[in-house]
Structure 1
Amino acid sequence: MIFIDYQNRKPIYEQIVERFQMLIIKGVMEADSKMPSVRSLATELSINPNTIQKAYTILEQQGYIYPVKGRGNFVSGNQALKEQQKTAFFEKLKTLIKEAKELDIPKELCLQKTKEFYEEGEA
Structure 2
Amino acid sequence: MARTQALPIQIATGDPRPIGKQIVDAVRMRIATGELEPGAQLPSVRGLAQQLTINPNTVAKAYAELTAEGWLESRQGLGLYVAPPRQRLSAAERDRRMDEAIQAFVHEVAALDYPPDRAIARLDKALGVLAKKSA
- Structure 2 length normalisation: TM-score? 0.65
Counterpart of 1:116 in structure 2 is: 121
Quick one: structure 1 residues 116 and 51, their matched pair in 2 at CA, closer, same or farther if it must change by over 3 Å?
same
Which of residues 45, 51, 55 is equivalent to 1:44?
Answer: 51
> What does 1:73-92 align with in structure 2 at a 5 Å threshold?
73-78=80-85, 80=87, 87-88=94-95, 91-92=98-99
Contact 1:21–1:64 under 8 Å retained in 2: yes
Q: Which runs of 4+ in 1 moved over 6 A?
A: none
Structure of higher CA gyration radius: 1
Q: 1:16, CA displacement in angstroms?
A: 0.2
Q: How many residues align?
A: 109
Q: Counterparts in 2 of 1:1-123, with a 5 A limit? A: 1-78=8-85, 80=87, 87-88=94-95, 91-92=98-99, 96=103, 115-121=120-126
SS in 1 for 2:46: helix
Q: Is the 8 A contact 1:25 1:82 kept in 2?
A: no
> What is the Cα deviation at residue 94 of structure 1?
9.6
Deviation at 1:115, TM superposition (A): 4.5
Let me know the Cα RMSD of the aligned residues: 3.2
Provide the residue aligned with 2:109 in structure 1.
none
Q: Which structure has more helix as a fraction of its residues?
A: 1
Consecutive unaligned residues in structure 2, runs of 5 or more: 1-7, 107-114, 129-135
State the 1:80 CA deviation.
Answer: 3.1
Question: Taking every aligned residue pair, what percent have the same amino acid on both sides?
Answer: 29
C-alpha displacement of 1:7:
1.1
